[in-house]
Structure 1
Amino acid sequence: MEEKPEGAEVLFDKAYLFLDTNFATMDDLEKDDFLRRYCLMLNSLNVSFKILMINNNQDMDQVRRDVFIREKDGKFSEMVRSFNKYISDRVLEGHSGLTQVRIFVLSVRKRDVGAARDYFRSIEANLTVNFSKMESALVPMDGTDRLRYLYVFWHMGEGKQLTLTWEQMVRKARDWKDFVAPQHVGYFQDEYEAMDGITLQFANRYSRVLYLPHLPSGVNPEIMNRFLSGDYQCSVTIDAAAIPMDAVRKRLNDLYMQVGRTIEKQQETRNRAGAWSSDVSYEVRRQKSEIEELLDVINDNNERMFYVGVYVVINAPTHKELENNVTAFCSAAEGEGFHFEPVYWEQIEAFHTASPCGARFCNTMYPLLTQPLAAFTPFIVHELYQPGGIAYGVNQISRNILIGDRKTLLNGNGFILGLSGSGKGMETKKEITEIFLTTDDDIIVIDPMNEYEAICDYFRGQFIDFSSTSKHYINPLDTDTLQYMDSRSTFLKDKTNLMLSIFSQIKENSMEPEDNSIIGRVVQQIYRGVGEKNFRTPTLVEFYDILKEQPEVRAQALALSMELFVTGAMNMFSKPTNVNTKNRFTVYGMADIDRSQSGMGIIIMLESVRSRIAENAKKGKCTWVFIDEFHRARRFAA
């Protein structure tokens, strides 16, 4: 806030953080639609505003707290260290450990803070809606946030964080500038103590402010991504001031009349010289055409006009590195037609103008319509960074690490797709490992190729081999799901559906309606007394014996059809369960299962998985189910 005489209007500002959105990944039609929405947002602003994008060092200590894996019991410390190194390398290699901050600053002149608050409140609702339409979000800053991001801008590249809060400053009557501003600021002096006038020297770093003296003929909407693609600390500021449209129209009409008078004078001069057929000069005709085009755009497209200044602040720990960074930035900008120049002998003023506050100390600005201004869109790509989540690689556009927590989504399901040999299996095993090390969730893997046996053994899980020669048995008639059912009748209905599915596979879908009734009756008989103290869990052997006792001819046919799977060579599912299906990491190996058993095996396996998920859901525990080579698993079921 400025200090002005009592009763005079004072400059107030309000700052917001805003979220990025996936502009870079849109196709051309989507980008056009997005830019139209962005133009509508700009047209709604009749005040001065700034848009800042800051590339600064990531707080590696915070990254470690957010995403590094912590050892729980020391059993897998080597794996924990390996994964933490992987995450650290991805953070540093991705964008050299830089993080991007987006700030939106509104400023207005009012007589007092109450009037300013009312004004900001009146336009904030509209801004929030417009940002939401662009799949972004506007987050107002409080006093502590303002101090923190002013500190970030003033100490860019130092890797420090401001610990002072707004409440502490007010309670102890401290001047915030003593904590936010650097201790020393001055122009850089060379070994001969000569100042260059274009480089600021802080206590332990160097900075240079560049400005854009004029715009190229065309602006790529992805230009901000190009500006911020370097691996160094920098910020880009778009400083804009809305021009009242009445003043714009009046000025353009005055210019149009001036050009008209110039044309008349030139024509009179040519007529007096006898050059009746000659035309006026090209320069005058071009000026007239441009003014007419501007008037058409303003009147037909509801465009606004702004005064705009573009500033870039580049930082480095040494003067030589600063020169290299400036050269790299200018080369990238010139490749897009932008020719930045340093601000001579007004570096401090330009630095203040580029800062995240409403102050403006440099007036090097040029008029710009809404559409050209919208080309400086500050949106690039949405970052996925959810502390406590899992590392999913590096964003190919921003080159920042992706940390996601699928449990926070409305639908956390997903596919890992890719060409053969592209690393799908490795990515799956990496995700499984991170889940195992960072959570207490249960993990179930359906493994048609038996390639997860090694990782299962490493984490001391339970690998269940589904094959006719296996010594692993799972009893489909186990009663451990009874305690998670609503009632005994629900349990019986569930087991009846299971047996109907099994017989459907055995009989190859040649079931008759009376078969269903017989199976349902047998289920009722084998579970008579279920839930009582001395109840003995049945197996398919008991089911087979009771089925043979039924008087119907169809019952004997059903018993004969299941004989191979009860007393024959394929009796792996007719014995009591002898594996730990409650192990936190369970893998169902399906590679060696006979095709004649595959349908029945899939049903029994899915029943085991389903009951496990239901049990965990009752406990409030998450269950991750991975189906590898799902096309093969589907073929087994078919």
Structure 2
Amino acid sequence: MLKKAEKPENVQPAAKRKLTRAERKQIEAIIRQAKGDGKPHTVQDSIPFRNLYPDGLCRLDDRLFSKTIAYEDVNYRLAGPDDQRDIFERLCDFYNGYDPSIGVQMTLSSRHEDKNGNLFGMDAQSDALDDMRVEASGILQIQYERGNNGFVKRKYVTLTIEAENLPAARARFSRIEADTLNRFKVMGAGARVLDGKERLALLHGLLHPEGGQFAFEWDWLPASGLSVKDFITPSSFEFGETRRFRIGEMYGAVSFLQILAPEIQDRILTDFMDVEGNLLVTMHVRGINQNEAIKMVKRKITDLDAMKIQEQKKAARSGYDLDILPSDLSTYGGAAKNLLQDLQSRNERMFNMTFLMLHLAPTKQKLEIAVSQSASVAQTHNCILTRLDFQQEDGLMSSLPLGLNRIKIERSLTTSALAVFVPFVTQELFMGGNAMYYGLNALSNNMILLDRKQSRCPNGLVFGTPGSGKSMSCKREITYVMLTTKDNVIICDPEDEYSPLVNRLGGQVIRLSPNSRDYVNPLDINLNYSEEENPLALKSDFVLSFCELIMGSKTGLEAIEKTVIDRAVQIIYQPYFADPRPENMPVLGDLLDALMAQGIPEAERVAQALDLYVNGSLNFFNHRTTVDIRNRLVCFDIKGLGKNLKKPGMLIVQDAVWNTVTVNRSIGRATWYFVDEFHLLLKEEQTAAYSAEVWKRFRKWGGVPTGATQNPKDLLSSPEIENILENSDFIYLLNLSAGDRKLMTERLNISTEQLAYVTNADPGSGLLFFQNVILPFRDEFPKDTELYKLLTTKPSEVTHDGESG
């Protein structure tokens, strides 16, 4: 049994000894070390959030939560005055939609992203095109470096709320997210909520400005024992200096914007983002209770009135006129009364805003240059960019898109004054995956990379006057499809412009003319020709269109004539479907015999029109296919058909394309179809109707058709153009004539500012429409390359080397 030690009798306790000053300091140091000094001593400790969850919700502390939404740009600079005013008003509604309990952090990022040929999908494939891939990759790298030297701009909004717990935060954010996405939609900007992994990737990129691969999976956490912070932290933070810091191997500095000007121009953010360098612009915005804001302004007015009375008393004592007051007092008094009126009678609210700018650079000298450039921009707008002395760490953490503001330097602004900081500049198209190059953004100089196959309707149209670059743009796209994908490409070439390129790319040129021995059977069919059980449903439409075209009737086929043709189609394909061998494939002669066998005048009338193509001088259409159209790249040269035969020739090519589309669909491969002089197909009712039907069906079958024409007037006059335009998410406008500009303005709702880019435009310049994005573009292709010589259509530059006969 343990007992207490007994105290010896008659022993006095020792007297307390007084500690020396050195001993006290030593003991205090030990206690401080044990307790900690309350400051972060690891990189993880510096990053101010507790946890981040897979749905993107971030817990900052016990009651504070945030979510981040990435949003796309809007062409504010290219919009007309009315459209700009509309965007501005909707931006005012955007801010007014958040009550004082919601913090709003706008983040605009400009980061340098080193890219190589992999960005353009130009990896070597050990085939005959690898040398072209090397050259094309080099050309694209040059174009990429022209565009802001690889600086990519992105935009985010981070919303912060208080909540009792996680479920309560998620419940409230579900409504806030939906409202925010809808507000962006109204402004014409696409937006999406970032999930947890995307937010971590964003933070990783900002915290690793020198670059570095982000690797993270949620199921790694339990096994590794690490937190999410461990996957995004840089190698080190160093905040020893007053006016800058180090993050890894990079130097950084955070400054705040002092707004001195009574009015700010709406391009101030644009000017800041145009400064070259790694830059992060942050605006922390929080609303002020409306009643409190009105009381605050009234107090200011009262104070100003009291000052006015004091000045008048001084004037009376000195014998001056009482109306003579200091100019500042008069100015502020009038502004305060106008502000009170705005708050009480207009849709204005008050907000507190903190404006921060984070610059990053590899050296101290480059950092100071970057800060100086931004300071110059601020001066042009009558503002001052001031460095955050002794607050660099708090400034960095407040700049991260976490929704936390540690910098208490605020400026009160009304809704309209806040909305002047328009976060929209110009839209960009910089898609990943299998995106291909389509020029440089004429406003930002950034590359335009897009993947048409990702759109709702990948169908496209190309318009341009002769010499504007219409054919060259199609050739460029064909080349990139061949170099970067496994897709098939088919070309309908009415002017024999594509042969050199096709031969160089290892394609097959098929020449359709009375003198050629290249035969294509118009009645070719495969068992997957239609999505219905009976593949003859669509084939019969083609045969009807073909017969109607060759009969030349202005009123079209009569009902009985359609009946006899459809009956003949059903008969001639029976042997092939019973035994699908190539020798059983019907030809036009079989169709003629099936019509004559019916023994009625209507069938005989159709047969007489068809006889020219079976027994007459145009019987080259009455053969089974003799060329290999299974090549990845096939060009149908129909120049030799003559003016009257081009339309049926183009229709036959279109049906051959449909055959290829149906074959490729079964193996998951896309089929690109380029048809020049597309207006010829839409001039006749029969070919126009068939073209519109194909245009509608192509997107569901993996087809990517593109129609090009120098005669938009003829194209737009077709009754089927509405169906074509509604099913085309890609429109490439080059230089247009005055009459065509007027028509296109009405059809596509082009603004005056946008119209300037297709008026007297240089070759390769114009407007690009892709889904809901409209971009002005230009393309300066290097002329001292093999690729340029293959793409150009200028007579003095065209080469026919390697062209087959």
Quick check: 2:349–2:415 contact (8 Å CA) kept in 1?
yes
* Deviation by residue 1:360-404 (Cα, 9 ceiling, x = unmatched): 333222111111111213233343214222222233334333222
Match of 1:285 among 305, 323, 330: 330
Quick check: 1:11–1:358 contact (8 Å CA) kept in 2?
no
The answer to whether residue 97 in structure 2 is matched with residue 40 in structure 1 is no
Deviation, 1:345, is 3.8
Quick check: 1:17–1:138 contact (8 Å CA) kept in 2?
yes
The answer to whether residue 637 in structure 2 is matched with residue 585 in structure 1 is no
Written as runs of structure 1 = structure 2, the 5 A alignment for 1:489-638 is: 490=537, 493-494=540-541, 497=544, 500-501=547-548, 503-505=550-552, 526=572, 529-533=575-579, 536-543=584-591, 562-617=610-665, 621-631=669-679
Deviation, 1:235, is 0.9
- Residues 561, 162 of structure 1: alpha-carbon distance in 2 compared, 3 angstrom cutoff: closer
Q: 1:194 maps to which residue?
A: none
C-alpha distance in structure 2 between counterparts of 1:378 and 1:564, whole Å: 66
Residue identity in the other structure for 1:425 = S
Quick check: 2:647–2:681 contact (8 Å CA) kept in 1?
no
Written as runs of structure 1 = structure 2, the 5 A alignment for 1:190-229 is: 197-229=242-274
Percent identity between matched residues is: 23
Quick check: 2:207–2:247 contact (8 Å CA) kept in 1?
no
Q: TM-score, normalised by structure 2?
A: 0.68
Quick check: 1:147–1:166 contact (8 Å CA) kept in 2?
no
Residue identity in the other structure for 2:104 = F
| Stretch of structure 1 that moved more, 268-277 or 342-351 | 268-277
Quick check: 1:502–1:603 contact (8 Å CA) kept in 2?
no
* Deviation by residue 1:530-588 (Cα, 9 ceiling, x = unmatched): 43349844434455567677766777776665554434433221233211234332211
The answer to whether residue 428 in structure 2 is matched with residue 376 in structure 1 is no
- Residues 423, 494 of structure 1: alpha-carbon distance in 2 compared, 3 angstrom cutoff: closer
Deviation, 1:211, is 1.7
* Deviation by residue 1:272-311 (Cα, 9 ceiling, x = unmatched): 6676774555443323211110111111223221221211
The answer to whether residue 186 in structure 2 is matched with residue 133 in structure 1 is yes
- Residues 137, 116 of structure 1: alpha-carbon distance in 2 compared, 3 angstrom cutoff: same
Match of 1:14 among 66, 70, 74: 66
Q: 1:320 maps to which residue?
A: 365
The answer to whether residue 489 in structure 2 is matched with residue 443 in structure 1 is yes
- Residues 388, 515 of structure 1: alpha-carbon distance in 2 compared, 3 angstrom cutoff: closer
Residue identity in the other structure for 1:400 = N
Q: 2:127 maps to which residue?
A: 74
C-alpha distance in structure 2 between counterparts of 1:395 and 1:510, whole Å: 46
The answer to whether residue 346 in structure 2 is matched with residue 301 in structure 1 is yes
C-alpha distance in structure 2 between counterparts of 1:127 and 1:210, whole Å: 29
The answer to whether residue 431 in structure 2 is matched with residue 431 in structure 1 is no
The answer to whether residue 392 in structure 2 is matched with residue 347 in structure 1 is yes
- Residues 425, 248 of structure 1: alpha-carbon distance in 2 compared, 3 angstrom cutoff: same
| Stretch of structure 1 that moved more, 68-77 or 275-284 | 275-284
Partner SS state of residue 340, structure 1: strand
Q: How many residues align?
A: 621
C-alpha distance in structure 2 between counterparts of 1:249 and 1:370, whole Å: 14
The answer to whether residue 230 in structure 2 is matched with residue 185 in structure 1 is no
C-alpha distance in structure 2 between counterparts of 1:495 and 1:119, whole Å: 57
* Deviation by residue 1:486-541 (Cα, 9 ceiling, x = unmatched): 33874884575256325414x78797777666656665665564433498444344
| Stretch of structure 1 that moved more, 431-440 or 445-454 | 431-440
Residue identity in the other structure for 1:374 = A
Residue identity in the other structure for 2:108 = M
Residue identity in the other structure for 1:56 = R
Deviation, 1:450, is 1.0
Give structure 2 stretches of 5+ with no counterpart: 1-47, 51-60, 688-713, 715-805
C-alpha distance in structure 1 between counterparts of 2:562 and 2:259, whole Å: 82
Partner SS state of residue 352, structure 1: helix
Residue identity in the other structure for 1:335 = T
Deviation, 1:452, is 1.2
C-alpha distance in structure 1 between counterparts of 2:73 and 2:195, whole Å: 23
Q: 1:123 maps to which residue?
A: 176
Q: TM-score, normalised by structure 1?
A: 0.85
Q: 1:256 maps to which residue?
A: 301
C-alpha distance in structure 2 between counterparts of 1:542 and 1:151, whole Å: 69
Quick check: 1:58–1:97 contact (8 Å CA) kept in 2?
yes
Give structure 1 stretches of 5+ with no counterpart: 4-8, 189-196
Match of 1:160 among 191, 194, 212: 212
Partner SS state of residue 576, structure 1: coil
* Deviation by residue 1:64-117 (Cα, 9 ceiling, x = unmatched): 2x6423444523211222333333333333121222232323334566666555
- Residues 414, 346 of structure 1: alpha-carbon distance in 2 compared, 3 angstrom cutoff: same
- Residues 486, 102 of structure 1: alpha-carbon distance in 2 compared, 3 angstrom cutoff: same
Deviation, 1:50, is 1.9
Match of 1:487 among 526, 534, 544: 534
Q: 2:434 maps to which residue?
A: 388
C-alpha distance in structure 2 between counterparts of 1:560 and 1:121, whole Å: 70
Match of 2:499 among 453, 462, 468: 453
Residue identity in the other structure for 2:401 = P
Quick check: 2:68–2:401 contact (8 Å CA) kept in 1?
no
Deviation, 1:140, is 4.2
Q: 2:522 maps to which residue?
A: 476
Match of 1:233 among 244, 268, 278: 278
| Stretch of structure 1 that moved more, 528-537 or 328-337 | 528-537
Quick check: 1:447–1:588 contact (8 Å CA) kept in 2?
yes
The answer to whether residue 454 in structure 2 is matched with residue 408 in structure 1 is yes
Match of 1:363 among 386, 404, 408: 408
Partner SS state of residue 264, structure 2: coil
C-alpha distance in structure 2 between counterparts of 1:373 and 1:343, whole Å: 22
C-alpha distance in structure 1 between counterparts of 2:168 and 2:599, whole Å: 91
Residue identity in the other structure for 1:467 = S
| Stretch of structure 1 that moved more, 82-91 or 111-120 | 111-120
Residue identity in the other structure for 2:157 = F
How large is the RMSD of aligned CA atoms in angstroms?
A: 3.7
- Residues 11, 71 of structure 1: alpha-carbon distance in 2 compared, 3 angstrom cutoff: same
C-alpha distance in structure 2 between counterparts of 1:373 and 1:204, whole Å: 36
C-alpha distance in structure 1 between counterparts of 2:674 and 2:208, whole Å: 46
Quick check: 1:13–1:107 contact (8 Å CA) kept in 2?
yes
- Residues 559, 251 of structure 1: alpha-carbon distance in 2 compared, 3 angstrom cutoff: closer
C-alpha distance in structure 2 between counterparts of 1:510 and 1:293, whole Å: 71
Quick check: 1:482–1:491 contact (8 Å CA) kept in 2?
no
* Deviation by residue 1:170-196 (Cα, 9 ceiling, x = unmatched): 6544466676255241456xxxxxxxx
C-alpha distance in structure 2 between counterparts of 1:607 and 1:148, whole Å: 47
Q: 1:193 maps to which residue?
A: none
| Stretch of structure 1 that moved more, 139-148 or 17-26 | 139-148
